[in-house]
Amino acid sequence: MKILSISWGFLLTIAFHCLFSSVECARDSQTKYPKSTFTFDQLWELEKTFWDSFLYPANVKQTQGNESSIFNTNVQGRVDITRTFDGDELNREYIFGLFSDPVHVSLVGVPIAYNITQFAANDNIASATTVVTFNATTFGIQIPVTIDTWIEWDAGGKIIQYDAVFRLFDYLVDFLIGDVAKKINATSSDQAVAYVSDLLAKTICATHEQYCTGSNQQYTDTAACYEFLTKDVRFGKSYELGKNTLLCREVHEHMVHYRPGIHCAHIGPTGGGYCVDDMTYPQTVLQRYFNDSWIPYGYGEEQDIWLGS
């Protein structure tokens, strides 16, 4: 009986250890994807490092050079209102380059300040809500934009994957259109949308004229470009910045000067695989994309429908 009592005591000790240290037990059992685990303080600093780099003019530096100090070479990224983006170079162009020119026509302009309002972190993953103040110079206003992010870092402290959601973006677009309507004394929102469409189309066509030459040419001339963007393609809803819309081409126009051979097609009639209506709502929600699960320490991987094959 004494031996049995000792055995049960030993087993209970192990059970309680696993119960109150379940993270450690689970991590010990995960050998498929070895990762570096960061402390909460380290993850907080990594989060702030990203947002510091996101602000203008620091973001300009991130678009330069052959290697990023923020992104892993094989980074994967998803933004709810646009699409998925693979690789360091492409992500630097979109995440940093898109918001790096205060004098260029843009929907939201350049980021000038941020406040992290929610933050939770474990393992090598952090989830945060950040309110970013943008200087929308095109419309002469400063606007707060709420961005929810999940970020995973590699062993070297570089982002290996991220998932971003622009919270209340439909409200933001309506706010911008409403502000434009007041400034031009429009009597309807349709007039304001037409005004913005004209502005964006002229900007996209000017960029096409300057950079999309030779084999990169998408339109026969500026008139054909303007005709397509204002009449043949829809303006786009707030969630359609990755669809066959004018708004999608506005996003991609900012990247054309970095690599015309890659981005000219995105502002052209075909959409270049980015501004296209190729996915339904269920396909978008159920898309298998990420290499790693967003649940720390390998929990729940067997039921994670977002993991790529």
Q: How far apart are CA 32 and CA 233, in angstroms?
A: 46
Q: Does 59 lie in the same domain as 124?
A: yes
Q: Which whole-number Å values give the CA distances from 202 to 150, 219, 222, 238, 247, in the listed order?
A: 36, 13, 9, 21, 13
Q: Does 151 lie in the same domain as 116?
A: yes
Cβ pair 92, 63 in contact under 8 A: yes
Q: Does 186 lie in the same domain as 105?
A: no
The CATH number covering residue 113 comes to: 3.10.450.50
Q: Does 274 lie in the same domain as 221?
A: yes
Q: Does 163 lie in the same domain as 201?
A: no
Flag whether 288 is in a domain.
no
Q: Does 98 lie in the same domain as 76?
A: yes
- Burial label for 269, CB within 10 Å (0-12, 13-18, 19+), is middle
Tens-of-pLDDT digits for all 309 residues of the chain?
444 444 444 444 444 444 334 444 444 434 344 468 999 999 999 999 999 999 999 999 999 988 899 999 999 999 999 999 999 999 999 999 999 999 999 999 999 999 999 999 999 999 999 999 999 999 999 999 999 999 999 999 999 999 999 999 999 999 999 999 999 999 999 999 999 999 999 999 999 999 999 999 999 999 999 999 999 999 999 999 999 999 999 999 999 999 999 999 999 999 999 999 999 999 999 999 999 999 999 999 999 999 997
Flag whether 17 is in a domain.
no
Q: Does 52 lie in the same domain as 144?
A: yes
Flag whether 188 is in a domain.
yes
Token output for 276 = 């296209």
The predicted pLDDT at position 279 comes to 98
The predicted pLDDT at position 5 comes to 44
Q: How far apart are CA 107 and CA 297, in angstroms?
A: 39
Flag whether 11 is in a domain.
no
Last residue of a domain, one of 167, 194, 217: 167
Flag whether 21 is in a domain.
no
Range of the domain at 55: 40-167
Q: How far apart are CA 281 and CA 92, in angstroms?
A: 27
Per the DSSP assignment, residues forming a β-bridge with 113 are 133
Flag whether 92 is in a domain.
yes
Q: Which helix (H) or strand (E) holds 196?
A: helix 189-211
Flag whether 225 is in a domain.
yes
Interior angle at CA 55, CA 65 and CA 172, nearest 5: 125
**Number of folded domains that form the chain:** 2
Q: Does 220 lie in the same domain as 131?
A: no
Flag whether 132 is in a domain.
yes
Q: What is the pTM of this model?
A: 0.89
Q: Does 153 lie in the same domain as 51?
A: yes
Cβ pair 54, 75 in contact under 8 A: no
Q: Does 229 lie in the same domain as 129?
A: no
Give the distance, in angstroms, between the CA of residue 288 and the centroid of all CA atoms in the same chain.
17
Per the DSSP assignment, residues forming a β-bridge with 17 are none
What's the DSSP call for residue 307? B
Q: Does 163 lie in the same domain as 195?
A: no
What's the DSSP call for residue 234? B
Q: Does 137 lie in the same domain as 54?
A: yes
Give the distance, in angstroms, between the CA of residue 262 and the centroid of all CA atoms in the same chain.
19
